[in-house]
Amino acid sequence: MSGSAHTSDARGAAWPATEAEARAVQEQLRPRVELADRAPAPGTPGTVLAGVDVAYDDTHDVVAAAAVALDGGTHEVVARATAYARVPFPYVPGLLAFRELPAVLDALERLGRVPDLVVCDGYGLAHPRRFGLASHLGVLTGLATVGVAKTPFVFRHGPVGAARGDSAPLLDGTEEVGRALRTREGVRPVFVSVGHRVSLDSACAHTLSLARRYRLPETTRRADALCREALREAATRQTGESRSPGEEGRAAATGRP
């Protein structure tokens, strides 16, 4: 994995600068997605389940990423890390990975633990080119990954039963690209898709196991809280440094807020 926020990915290739280049990268890497399940069984003690998420400071053009690792059996936090980067790519639906991945990769490197599974706040195969953030992250790192999103993106699904664990196929035409999954009775479903090295059944089972009390998996909730906390701390530092020319210069030189 790479810690560079501007010019390289996990394999050292140039980071795309245009939409056409980014789509070409997705088309190039998509065949590397593996559907064979290499993730541990849900609830396995001693395994490491990680969540990653990002938050943006649009004023300073900064993205903060967080990675939080939980024990697979207890769901207790065993490690956490954050990273910051200048936003390296414009906002384009379907290309969000190119905004988020450099900081996410950096946070995972700093985690100090190798996850057995990474849960992403976003999509994997449930993507117009079947290569969302979860799949992209999995291919670059070799880790098993799952996408758990809050909305169905551009896809449709039938009725989902009201009980916890009920689901319906998430469809692009007649192709199942994920599932709408009810994690709490009477609460809106989440949208689960395969990222890399995991089956859809396993992805849904892990999502349910990690969402025992809330709609979203505990991995996502913890990572979301941590990246927002990190962004607030960065904004506080930025405010303080703006009053000190020397400190502001050092912050700019490091590329961090």
**Does residue 115 fall inside a structural domain?**
yes
DSSP state of 8: B
Q: What is the CATH number of the domain that holds 235?
A: 3.30.2170.10
**Does residue 3 fall inside a structural domain?**
no
Average pLDDT over residues 131-160: 97
How many domains in the chain? Answer: 1
**Does residue 162 fall inside a structural domain?**
yes
**Does residue 13 fall inside a structural domain?**
no
**53 carries a ligand binding annotation:** yes
**Does residue 4 fall inside a structural domain?**
no
**Does residue 228 fall inside a structural domain?**
yes
**Does residue 157 fall inside a structural domain?**
yes
**Does residue 64 fall inside a structural domain?**
yes
Which tens digits make up the pLDDT trace of 58-103?
988 999 999 999 999 999 999 999 999 999 999 999 999 999 999 9
- pLDDT band of 236, cuts 50, 70, 90: confident
Cα–Cα dist 161/178, whole Å? 16
Q: How many CB atoms lie within 10 A of CB 108?
A: 25
What value does the mean pLDDT of the chain take? 89
Q: Is the pTM of this model over 0.85?
A: yes
Which tens digits make up the pLDDT trace of 158-176?
999 999 999 999 999 999 9
Whether 213 has a pLDDT exceeding 50, the answer reads yes
Whether 140 has a pLDDT exceeding 90, the answer reads yes
Whether 134 has a pLDDT exceeding 80, the answer reads yes
Q: Helices in 55-211 by DSSP H: which ranges? A: 97-110, 133-141, 200-210
Domain span at residue 191 reads 19-254
**121 carries a ligand binding annotation:** yes
